[in-house]
Amino acid sequence: MATISMIRWLALGAALALAAPAVQAQQAPIKLGELNSYSKWAAFTVPYRNGWQMALDEINAKGGVLGRKLEIVSRDDGATTGDATRVADELVTREGVSLLFGSFLSNVGVAMADYANQKKIVYVAAEPLTDAITMAQGNRYTFRIRPNNFMQVGMLVEQAKASGAKRWAIVAPNYEYGQSAAEVFKRLIKERVPGAEIVAEQYPALGKIEAGATVSALEQARPDGIFNVLFGPDLTQFVREGNTRGLFEDATVLSLLTGEPEWLLPLKDEVPEGWTVTGYPWDQITEPKHKAFVEAYRAKFNETPRLGSLLGYMTVYMIRDAIERAGSVETEALIKALEDAKFDTIIGPVTMRGIDHQSTMGAWVGKLVQQGATGGMTDWTYKDGASFMPSEAEVKAVRKE
């Protein structure tokens, strides 16, 4: 009888051991909430979604995080602050997500930062660039991946010093991102280029530019330098009209984002050569990790990566790393794991600065050049974001916390 009992106990132990992996596999996934302007700004957000989807697939293929699969519940934010906060609330209350990430437009990003602060949930801003997200409207629950307006404009102004241009005109979309970038430019150009003055400012409504009137107003001011913040269809129309009327001839042009494939490729053979831009020369970056990313992305989606692709990919891996360090998805643990954390990304080391939750991700700065039927960047360098961040004193002066 003792022998039979022993056999039974051994059999039971073996069955439990075999069942253990199955029990582990049945653990609920870690749910992340993602929202973005997929229907309104597909040129950036669809490649961005491809990037985070590729990262998600890779992470789950390797076992997920903390022994659990990652699940991303994604929603369209309608490109409005009202829709974004409504969708965010659905993700938190109905879907039970552990954190939120995403957003494209800066005004939506500001609304999301406020929502995160009210609901006490971590929000990782992937794309919005307005300084307000990590400065005046910054809070302990909100973190940003991309270099903000202050950082990217600072990189461009650095390039303006050698141009000799003194009379500057500004053209920017009339909403949070454009207004923020213009204010930073006005401040930095006067601080860093002695004798510089602003002679014209044009703020067309986002997506509704009247290119002829805008170019005419700039022409009348006779600037020798132009700071451009337009993107998307507005940029294409502005470039076409400016080229036709010779606005850019003999002028120094500094242009935010124009070297990003999302906005550069639609220009085709109308690329304004010689503009100094921030962008993403994906095909010229030689770091092995980045080259592997490009190869995997092209194999998976049969297209070349955009900056959005890179950003979506980086964001999910940085969130994965933060969850691993936190050892949980509890909000306070995640905040602690993110603050001053160093991440080994496919473009090199990136740190999430603790004082303002702004990452040190940099940007590529170079000049536009026509390359066959499309445009590209030349004479570019990668500018480390850490060298262009606002000082800690500036942060403390404007943050409410």
* CB burial string 164-176: b at 16+ within 10 A, e below: ebebbbbbbbebb
Longest dimension (CA), the chain: 104
Q: Which domains does the chain have, with CATH numbers?
A: 30-148+285-361 (3.40.50.2300), 150-282+364-388 (3.40.50.2300)
Report the phi/psi class of residue 195: left, alpha or beta, with left for phi > 0 and alpha for psi in -120 to 50: left
CA distances from 319 to 89, 123, 229, 231 (A): 20, 10, 30, 28
Per-residue pLDDT 10s for the chain (401 aa) are 444 454 444 444 554 455 445 444 468 999 999 999 999 999 999 999 999 999 999 999 999 999 999 999 999 999 999 999 999 999 999 999 999 999 999 999 999 999 999 999 999 999 999 999 999 999 999 999 999 999 999 999 988 888 989 999 999 999 999 999 999 999 999 999 999 999 999 999 999 999 999 999 999 999 999 999 999 999 999 999 999 999 999 999 999 999 999 999 999 999 999 999 999 999 999 999 999 999 999 999 999 999 999 999 999 999 999 999 999 999 999 999 999 999 999 999 999 999 999 999 999 999 999 988 889 999 999 999 999 999 999 999 998 77
> If you search the block for the tokens 């973005």, which residue do you land on?
36
At position 385, the amino acid (one-letter code) is G
Token output for 136: 């005046």
Tell me phi and psi for residue 299, to 5 degrees: -65, -35
CA distances from 320 to 5, 55, 227, 328, 350 (A): 47, 10, 37, 11, 14
The distance from CA 314 to its chain's CA centroid, rounded to whole angstroms, is: 9
Q: Is the pTM of this model over 0.75?
A: yes
